[in-house]
């Protein structure tokens, strides 16, 4: 069978499925980066790396995360600005400050904040 470039690889019975990493954090949770001074609220999760090769290669090799783990999209903030961050699971820890995140896009996605967690607006739920 000829496989077209970019086409999904069909599942063949008897072949082992690749391992699936379990996400430690959920949408709406507030997390902090393990090494850098920023925190944010998770608004999406990729089960494995799903960004560009250019983005990945720009990370210094000695600190480059593995691709076979969940990656999180964050509405992030630091002392100077608010932005969107894409962070590997190995670089995140739970934020126990119970302080809300001050990001201008939060009100567009979330509707409430309690006990260190945001509630996704009903219009964005699957």
Q: What is the DSSP string of 33-89?
A: ESSSS-EEEEEEEESS--S-HHHHHTS-GGGPPPSSS-EEEEEEE-SS-EEEEEEEG
pLDDT band of 9, cuts 50, 70, 90? low
Q: Domain for residue 2, yes or no? A: no
Please report whether residue 13 resides in a domain. Answer: no
Maximum distance among all alpha carbons in the chain? 56
In a domain, 18, yes or no: no
Q: Is residue 44 part of a domain?
A: yes
Is there a domain that residue 25 lies in?
A: no
DSSP conformation class of 2: P
User: Could you tell me if 104 and 96 are in contact, meaning their C-beta atoms sit under 8 angstroms apart?
Assistant: no
pTM score: 0.81
Quick check: is 107 in a domain? yes
Sign of CA dihedral 116, 123, 38, 21: positive
Q: Which residue has the tokens 């996704």?
A: 120
Neighbours of 77 (CB within 10 A): 19
Structure letter (DSSP) for residue 6: T
Name the residue range of residue 120's domain: 30-124
- pLDDT, tens digit (0-9, with 9 covering 90-100), for 72-95: 999 999 999 999 999 999 999 999
Split into its structural domains, the chain has a count of: 1
Neighbours of 29 (CB within 10 A): 18
User: What does pLDDT average to over the chain?
Assistant: 88
Q: Is residue 7 part of a domain?
A: no
Classify residue 98: in a domain, yes or no.
yes
């Amino acid at each position: 069978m000829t496989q077209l470039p970019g086409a999904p690889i069909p599942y063949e019975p008897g072949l082992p499925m690749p391992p699936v990493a379990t996400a430690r954090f959920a949408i709406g949770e507030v997390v902090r980066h393990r090494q850098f001074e920023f925190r944010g609220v998770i608004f999406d999760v990729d089960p494995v790396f799903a960004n560009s090769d250019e983005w990945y290669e720009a990370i210094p090799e000695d600190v480059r995360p593995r691709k076979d783990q969940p990656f999180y999209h964050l509405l992030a903030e630091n002392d100077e600005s608010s932005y969107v961050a894409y962070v590997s699971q190995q670089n995140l820890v739970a934020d126990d400050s119970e302080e809300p995140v001050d990001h201008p896009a939060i009100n567009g996605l979330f509707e409430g904040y309690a006990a260190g967690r945001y509630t996704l607006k009903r219009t964005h739920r699957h």
